[in-house]
């Protein structure tokens, strides 16, 4: 196979394997299913130590309905802070099944206060402050994303 054909074949395979949202703009989507209906956020993904440590630091703004989804390797108590983060955030903590277990509303920019998951969690969705209330997100609602499988 010629190198050009091989590259074209690999690119085609990549495009057909990845979700369209990831291919289009480097983002992905997460849905929260709640009593008030489903709501979708465009999110960046943070699943390794480097990306989780960096989070949303040093940003001055974030579009409405955007955020970051953090994944941890195991369910455990999670502690976060707002050091070098200039955007007020809501932090939505969820267990390994995607069930919302705690919501910290209105995290204060640049605060060194520890924000706790208040129990074991595996995922954290950070969105603009006020969006959890705006969309009626409550304890017990469900996060939906390919990372969240019935068995993990």
20-70 pLDDT tens trace = 333 334 579 999 999 989 999 999 999 999 999 999 999 999 999 999 999
Give the pLDDT confidence score for residue 8 in this predicted structure: 38
Note the CATH architecture for domain 26-144. Sandwich (2.60)
Query: What's the gap between Cα 21 and its chain centre?
Result: 14
Radius of gyration for the chain, computed over Cα atoms and rounded to the nearest angstrom: 17
Give the pLDDT confidence score for residue 26 in this predicted structure: 52
Mean pLDDT for 105-113 is 97
CA dihedral defined by 81, 73, 133, 34, rounded to 10 degrees?
-170
pTM across the whole model: 0.81
pLDDT at 100 over 70: yes
pLDDT at 76 over 70: yes
Mean pLDDT for 146-152 is 76
């Amino acid at each position: 196979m010629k190198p050009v054909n091989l590259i074209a074949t690999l690119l085609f395979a990549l495009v057909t394997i990845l979700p369209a949202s990831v291919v289009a703009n480097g983002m992905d989507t997460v849905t929260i299913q709640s009593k008030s209906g489903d709501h979708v956020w465009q999110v960046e993904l943070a699943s390794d130590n480097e990306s989780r440590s960096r989070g949303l630091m040093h940003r001055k703004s974030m579009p409405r309905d955007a955020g970051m989804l953090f994944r941890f390797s195991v369910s455990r108590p999670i502690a976060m802070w707002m050091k070098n983060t200039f955007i007020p955030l809501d932090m939505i903590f969820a267990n390994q099944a995607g069930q919302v277990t705690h919501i910290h509303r209105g995290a204060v920019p640049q605060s060194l206060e520890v924000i706790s998951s208040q129990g074991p969690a595996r995922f954290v969705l950070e969105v603009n402050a006020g969006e959890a209330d705006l969309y009626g997100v409550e304890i017990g609602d469900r996060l939906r994303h390919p990372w969240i499988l019935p068995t993990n």
